[in-house]
Amino acid sequence: MTFKQVISVKKRFWGCMMNPKNNLLIGAIVAVVVVMSYDVGVEPIAFFEGLPNLGIVAKEMTEFKSEHWGTAFWSMLETIEMAFIGTIAGVVISLPLSIFAARNLSSKFVYAPLRALLAATRTFPSILWAILFVIVVGLGPFAGILAITLYTIGFISKLQYESIEAIDFDPVEATTAIGLSKLQLIRYVIIPEAAPHLLSQILYMFDYNVRQTSILGIVGAGGIGFYIINYIKFFEYGKAAMFMLVVLAAVLAIDWISVKIRDKYIMKAEHGRQLKAIN
């Protein structure tokens, strides 16, 4: 494609986009954003006036003592452990629930109330569940693990029953025709067909749960968030910022590991299925 052709395509694109109807829609959206910003008290000037305060935080960060690194490391390790336990426990529980919640495997008298229950578990964020479990079991990591587990059940169950409902039902009908029971159908057809999505979902959920667990300490549910909120309460913003940098480093490391796992297992599996389909 020549340069003139590119320019011509761009002109046609913007000609289609910037018509009176679209201009009116964009203007309405901008007006709504302005009105809502005024309603919630958005003040851009206050943001720019407060930027010099970052210099104070940066100065306090240079005063971070070496003995605090050990606390930051072990509290971040506790956070990762909580997220890992909660993720695995939630996935294990969600797998059978997702089968019962799939519309193509269960009657509406089973999947309808179950879906409503699962929707309720993921309606509230983990930190609200953590408050409830702190009341139930007391302060500490156990309350955080229960909160992460419950939210993971609701989230993974939804992803899995949607994956099950998207399965190609030609092999299902074929295996049903040869007399397989429903349990055998689930074991030999449904689970293998839905499994490729599961690893990707687990990696995403673990990454998400690490981020969520980092703030559960705010309500006393363990993890590095306990130290961050306490430093903020006592105006020790430099220490809080350093602990937040530890969270950032851990999340980036987990994200890098997740990419490597996806490249090694998920991408290879997808490539293998494509080759099989071609052949």
Q: Across the chain, which distance is largest between two alpha carbons, in Å?
A: 74
pTM: 0.75
Distances (CA, A) of 95 to 51, 86, 151: 48, 14, 14
Of residues 96, 223, 108, 224, the one with CA closest to residue 160: 96
**Residue 36 burial by Cβ neighbours in a 10 Å radius (0-12, 13-18, 19+):** exposed
Of residues 194, 218, 237, the one with CA closest to residue 64: 237
Give the CATH H-level superfamily of domain 70-278: MetI-like (1.10.3720.10)
Domain boundaries, the chain: 70-278
**pLDDT tens, per residue, the chain with 279 residues:** 565 555 565 556 555 666 677 778 888 888 998 888 888 888 888 878 777 777 777 776 666 677 778 888 888 899 999 999 999 999 999 888 888 888 877 788 888 888 888 888 888 888 888 899 999 988 888 999 999 999 999 888 888 888 877 776 666 666 666 666 667 677 767 777 777 677 888 888 898 899 888 888 888 888 888 888 888 787 777 778 888 888 889 889 988 888 888 777 766 555 555 545 555
